[in-house]
């Protein structure tokens, strides 16, 4: 997979050239950084092909379906229909996991509130204390990660759906333009 280049703003401490110790001055620079694909590993684990991972040699989709033969349009339609269905399935699994984590978070909040209701003067002090508890932090982190992954999966599924729908429209157009057949 091809890595893209990003510009990352960084704050760097500059050393004074005459002094061996750090002078304390900071400056901002732009540095070229290549993102690692750590954030998208879950797509590979789930069997989804992200658009930038598609090998153009093996899976090229024409922008104009009218230039493809009927068999090629059918192959594109079939391939992307299967990918779309699988992406919907993966998104549904992630959504159910998200619901379970949100339920666990609510239960954890309720348990902690019932245990600690007498220690704090008001509800806000208790809520602030609950935010630093490791169990709650872990659940909130897991929820945030799954929500982000779900957004990516939904975007990939929408891309698959668009290509599938385009091929489907082309197949319908070709089927409706054919002259009626008369059996004699």
How confident is residue 57, by pLDDT bands cut at 50, 70 and 90? low
The burial class, CB within 10 Å (0-12 / 13-18 / 19+), for 48 is buried
Tokens of 182: 């008369």
Task: Determine the average pLDDT of the residues in 177-181.
Answer: 68
Choice among 2-6, 39-43, 69-73, 114-118 with the minimum mean pLDDT:
2-6
Q: How far apart are CA 82 and CA 143, in angstroms?
A: 28
pLDDT confidence of residue 144:
95
Of the two residues 117 and 112, the one the predictor is more confident about is 112
Task: Determine the average pLDDT of the residues in 43-63.
Answer: 67
**Is 70 exceeded by the pLDDT of residue 121?**
yes
- For 36-46, the pLDDT digits (tens) are 466 677 887 88
Phi then psi for residue 149, to 5 deg, are: -65, -35
- For 69-90, the pLDDT digits (tens) are 888 888 888 888 998 999 999 9
pLDDT confidence of residue 184:
59
Strands 6-15 and 22-33: antiparallel
């Amino acid at each position: 997979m091809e890595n893209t280049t990003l510009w990352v703003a960084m704050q760097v401490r500059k050393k004074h050239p005459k002094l061996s110790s750090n002078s304390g001055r900071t400056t901002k620079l732009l540095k070229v950084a290549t993102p690692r694909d750590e954030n998208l590993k879950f797509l590979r684990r789930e069997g989804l092909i992200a658009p930038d991972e598609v090998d153009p040699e093996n899976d090229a989709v024409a922008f104009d379906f009218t230039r493809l033969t009927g068999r090629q349009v059918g192959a594109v339609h079939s391939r992307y229909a299967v990918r779309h269905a699988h992406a919907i399935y993966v998104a549904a699994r992630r959504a159910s996991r998200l619901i379970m984590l949100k339920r666990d978070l609510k239960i954890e909040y309720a348990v902690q509130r019932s245990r600690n209701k007498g220690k704090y003067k008001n509800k806000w002090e208790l809520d602030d204390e609950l935010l630093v508890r490791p169990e709650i932090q872990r659940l909130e982190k897991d929820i945030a990660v799954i929500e982000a992954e779900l957004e990516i999966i939904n975007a990939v599924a929408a891309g698959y759906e668009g290509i599938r729908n385009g091929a489907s429209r082309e197949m319908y157009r070709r089927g409706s333009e054919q002259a009626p057949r008369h059996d004699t």
